Amino acid sequence: MKNIAGGSDVIVPANRIIGETNEGSDETVVHAVTVRNAIKVYGSKDNRCAVLDGLNMTIKKGAIYGLLGASGCGKTTLLSCLVGRRSLNSGEIVVLGQEPGTPGSGVPGPRVGYMPQELALYSDFSITETLRYFGRIYNLRMAFVDSQLEFLSKLLDLPPSDRPVKTLSGGQQRRVSFAVALFHEPELLILDEPTVGVDPLLRHSIWNHLVHQSVHHGRTVIVTTHYIEEARQANMIGMMRSGRLLVEESPDSLLNHYQLPSLEEVFLKLCIKDRGNSRNEQLTEVANVPSHVAAQLPQPSADHVNMAFDDSLSQISVPEPNRDESSASPANGSETPSVDIEMISRNRDNSSELTVRPTAANNVISAKRHQSRTFRIALPSSYRLNALVRKNFMVTFRNIGIFVLLYFLPAFQATVFNVTLGHEPTGIKMAIVNDELNPSQGRVCNYSTDCSYSMLSCRYLRYIKDNIIQVPYESVSTALDAGRKGSVWGVIHFGHNFTEELEIRQSEGDAVNIENIIRSRISINMDSSNQQIDVFVEKWLLEAYGNFFQDFMKSCKFEPEAGYLPVVFLDPVYGHKDTPYTEFMAPGLIISIVYFMAVSLTAGIFVAERQQGLLDRSLVAGVQMTEVLIGHLVNQFTVMIGQTALVFMCTLLIFSIPCHGNLVLAIFITLLQGFVGMCFGLLIATLCDNENSALLLSQASFLPFTVISGVCWPIEGMPFYFRSIAYAMPLTYAIESLRSIFTRGWGIERLDVYAGILISIAWIFALLIMCLIVIRVRKYAS
């Protein structure tokens, strides 16, 4: 039957799928898998290494194929190419009649069951939840999933199905992984070392099951194993070495042909015979030994492709593959497609280079592959999206610790910021040296509040804010010493005749002389190492003088403003006098908290999933990358709504930061920025291979982004050339928008507000496009 999902035709057995059914798979296809002259190169430039080296393979439908080979010979690479997770540099792969990854091939998808080497299971899920997740991906009926669970539990001796995977032993976990590959009854089973860590009895039962699947249901099985002897039960064995198949035969024929008692000995014999034939070996050998020694190296045997390894190019023309696939193909070289490979081994600069150059015939294959894959974006399927979203929610909410952290961390961060930032400093010690006081009278500060010029120094000190602690010192030198030792933030000094000199200064007006001016001054020496404290103390002392002077003028029945600076700050257009720094920072903080939480969460979850092989497993099951992205975005977005709500509540209600504009608009812009953060997190996840590098990148972006975006300092304070960089940051305009809403009460009709919205949307699209480009480039590079 044919299930059309997400714009791609996927063939799934009829009895298990939800909804309408259709025709089965192409019965005319005799071979389940054919691989022709597969070349797969990892690395670039000097590090190029051909992991698949002109490999040919033919697997009949319904056969069990044992793929044997030493560690690192390329088995997993070959399997990942078969399931469409990697692409060849050249050569051809046909799986179940079609090239993997082409629309409607069902590979990757429900036609194939893949058990990767790594566990690739959600550790917090129970066995039932694990199978149900994949059941939803394949759109299977839950009744079928449950009956399969019961059957496989018995067959594989699984523990109770409600046990979380993380509580199972290593062997039990591998059996669950095996069950995931089996349970949807795919036409082709690809198992990468399924029997590792499994006891002999269970291994026997697993092989029996594979034989049963092959004989009674016609399913094809490809299985890699390091236990060579267990592969005797396979119909065909492919022995692999250095990216090539040495032989492809039935176990009995191999034993008869080589007259050896075990497959292990056959493998050993073939390996010894093959020594020096691998291109990689030859390249390494030739690249590392002088030419006169290289000439004496053993020459490759006649039945293998011959190559020259001198300074000139050597071309290997390989004949067209025998399309009559009824006979088993020789392992290497004689039955291959028209692919010319140029091997360039250069011993210049002690470096060697391997180049794969496609010929005309090879170009056709490449072109076909290109046509079928490039820029094919299928519509997301509803059932796969449902499965992914459910799975993401289960992962998020399963662990109560993570749940609490997720929701309360941003609110906690907002609290920490609000408690610690932007407030006036208190307990600032200032040394007071008042030479007006008489030491013989115990330096007592007696002053009157009427219009008399007496002890004005003491009268002034009364107006200094409580934030300053006044510490009396007897002399300027001891006070300055205290300042140098860090005991006080500054020294305030009044001269002997401060009051008299001030009186003269007042009465003389413009005729006053400079000596009088100097003697009537209040001299201050500050420890200016802390700019913020310096600014605050200066402001408070000037304010104190203003208040003192007004009070004195009032008591003398003069105009209080007389003699005051002729500069006045009237009521502000927006905001209020002495707007606290916290109010300036709050919008930037809200946005940066939500943004960076989204960045690190998205990047972390996504990379972890990929690193554990979970992403690969889902993709092999037919999930598309766009669906994975949407699934994560839906999940993260709901988490973000909760986080944003808590951050706003914390800022507005607990710390009473006023929002003069439309709160809904402010929340909308914050959520948009969270979305930008998620997209940036996705970009990090697509760029990074492991959690550490993702974490490093997201952390590395935190400080520059926060600082450049004007969270804690006005952009107007940056060098002129740097401002364009600041405005190009994803957060800058959004922060300006939020600030305009919070402090000015502006609405969406103002450019400053809607610019933030438009630029956030533009960033979302730009980042998503970058993600898709990186995904595509990495897919082709891998």
Ligand X SMILES: Nc1ncnc2c1ncn2[C@@H]1O[C@H](COP(=O)(O)OP(=O)(O)OP(=O)(O)O)[C@@H](O)[C@H]1O
Q: Is 245 in the site for ligand X (CB under 6 A)?
A: no
Instruction: Give the list of residues 6+ apart from residue 427 with CB closer than 8 angstroms, or none.
Output: 467, 469
Contact between 75 and ligand X per CB under 6 A: yes
What's the CA dihedral at 83, 84, 87, 91 to 10 degrees?
A: 60
19, 24, 72, 472: which one binds ligand X (CB under 6 A): 72
Q: How far is the CB of 613 from ligand X (least distance, A)?
A: 12
* 69 binds ligand X, rule: CB under 6 A: yes
C-alpha dist (Å) from residue 102 to 372, 373, 605, 771, 782 = 6, 6, 29, 22, 17
Q: Which is nearer to ligand X, 43 or 747 (CB)?
A: 43
Let me know: does 714 contact 581? Beta carbons within 8 Å: no
C-alpha distance from residue 314 to each of 50, 302, 340 (Å): 17, 17, 10
Cβ closest to ligand X, residue 114 vs residue 648: 114
Q: Which residue in 3, 25, 56, 77 binds ligand X (CB under 6 A)?
A: 77
The token pair that represents 592 in the structure block: 């940066």
Phi, psi (degrees; rounded to nearest 5) at 733: -65, -35
State the minimum distance, in angstroms, from the CB of residue 376 to ligand X. Answer: 23
The residue among 101 and 588 lying less far from ligand X, judged by its C-beta, is 101
Q: Does 412 bind ligand X (CB under 6 A)?
A: no
Does 76 contact ligand X by CB under 6 A? yes
148 binds ligand X (CB under 6 A): no
Q: Looking at beta carbons only, is 69 or 490 nearer to ligand X?
A: 69
Q: What DSSP letter does each residue of 681-721 carry, written as one string?
A: HHHHHHH-SSHHHHHHHHHHHHHHHHHHTTSSS-GGGS-HH
In whole angstroms, the minimum distance from the beta carbon of 69 to ligand X comes to 6
Only segment of 66-74, 331-339, 375-383, 489-497 that touches ligand X (CB under 6 A):
66-74
What is the C-alpha to C-alpha distance for residues 390 and 393, in angstroms, rounded to an integer? 5
Exposed/middle/buried for residue 291 (C-beta within 10 Å: 0-12, 13-18, 19+): exposed
Binding of residue 200 to ligand X (CB under 6 A): no
Q: Within 13 Å and on the Cβ side, how many CA atoms surround 327?
A: 8
CB 540 within 8 A of CB 470: no
Which is it for strands 8-11 and 2-5: parallel, antiparallel or unpaired? antiparallel
Helix (H, G, I), strand (E, B) or coil at 777: helix
Stretch that binds ligand X, among 69-77, 201-209, 317-325, 506-514 (CB under 6 A): 69-77
Q: Which amino acid would we find at residue 572?
A: P
Name the token pair of 209: 């099951």
Amino acid in position 358: P
Residue 504: phi, psi to the nearest 5? -60, -45
- C-beta closer to ligand X: residue 46 or 310: 46
- Asked if omega into 251 is within 30° of 0 (cis), the reply is no
Stretch that binds ligand X, among 70-78, 100-108, 276-284, 700-708 (CB under 6 A): 70-78
Handedness of CA 502, 504, 509, 515 (dihedral sign): negative
Q: Which of these, 274, 276, 207, 214, lies nearest to 247 by C-alpha position? A: 274
- Name the residue nearer to ligand X (CB basis): 77 or 277: 77
Interstrand relation of 340-343 and 314-317 (parallel, antiparallel or unpaired) = antiparallel
| Residue 611 contacts ligand X per CB under 6 A | no
The DSSP symbol for 302 reads T
Q: In the window 34-53, what residues touch ligand X (CB under 6 A)?
A: 42-43, 51
Which helix H or strand E contains 439, and what residues bound it? Answer: none
Distance in Å, CB of 232 to ligand X, minimum: 19
Question: Whose CA is closest to 461, among 517, 545, 527?
Answer: 545
Stretch in the footprint of ligand X (CB under 6 A) among 68-76, 108-116, 151-159, 571-579: 68-76
Question: Residue 493's beta-bridge partner residues?
Answer: 433, 523
Structure tokens at 356: 């794969």
Supply the minimum distance, in Å, between the C-beta of residue 700 and ligand X: 24
CA 778 vs. chain centroid, Å, equals 15
Q: Using the rule CB under 6 A, is 71 a contact of ligand X?
A: yes
Three-state SS sequence of 183-201: CCCCCEEEEECCCCCCCHH
Of 62, 74, 101, 674, the one binding ligand X (CB under 6 A) is 74
Residue placing its CB nearer to ligand X in the complex, 49 or 726: 49
* Total interface residues for ligand X by CB under 6 A: 12
Which region, judged by CB under 6 A, interacts with ligand X, from 73-81, 314-322, 438-446, 493-501? 73-81
Position among 50, 73, 237, 526 found at the interface with ligand X (CB under 6 A)? 73
Stretch that binds ligand X, among 9-17, 74-82, 121-129, 694-702 (CB under 6 A): 74-82
Shortest distance, position 43 Cβ to ligand X, whole Å = 6
Residue 32: Cβ within 10 Å count: 26
Query: Helix or strand or coil: residue 51?
Result: strand
Q: Which is nearer to ligand X, 713 or 780 (CB)?
A: 780
Closer CB to ligand X, residue 77 or residue 418? 77
Contact between 393 and ligand X per CB under 6 A: no
240 or 623, CB closer to ligand X?
240
Backbone angles phi, psi at 106, to 5 degrees: 75, 5
Of residues 42 and 408, the one with the C-beta less far from ligand X: 42
| Residue closer to ligand X (CB basis): 117 or 516 | 117
CB of 486 to ligand X, least distance (A): 57
Q: Which of the ranges 75-83, 422-430, 582-590, 632-640 carries the binding residues for ligand X, by CB under 6 A?
A: 75-83
Q: How far is the CB of 228 from ligand X (least distance, A)?
A: 12
Smallest distance, ligand X to C-beta of residue 49, A: 7
Binding mask 714-753 vs ligand X (x if CB under 6 A, - otherwise)? ----------------------------------------
Is position 117 an interface residue for ligand X (rule: CB under 6 A)? Answer: yes
Q: Are 84 and 623 in contact (CB under 8 A)?
A: no
- Give whole-number Cα distances, 565 to 31, 550, 562, 568, in Å: 96, 12, 9, 8
Chain positions contacting ligand X, by CB under 6 A = 42-43, 51, 69, 71-77, 117
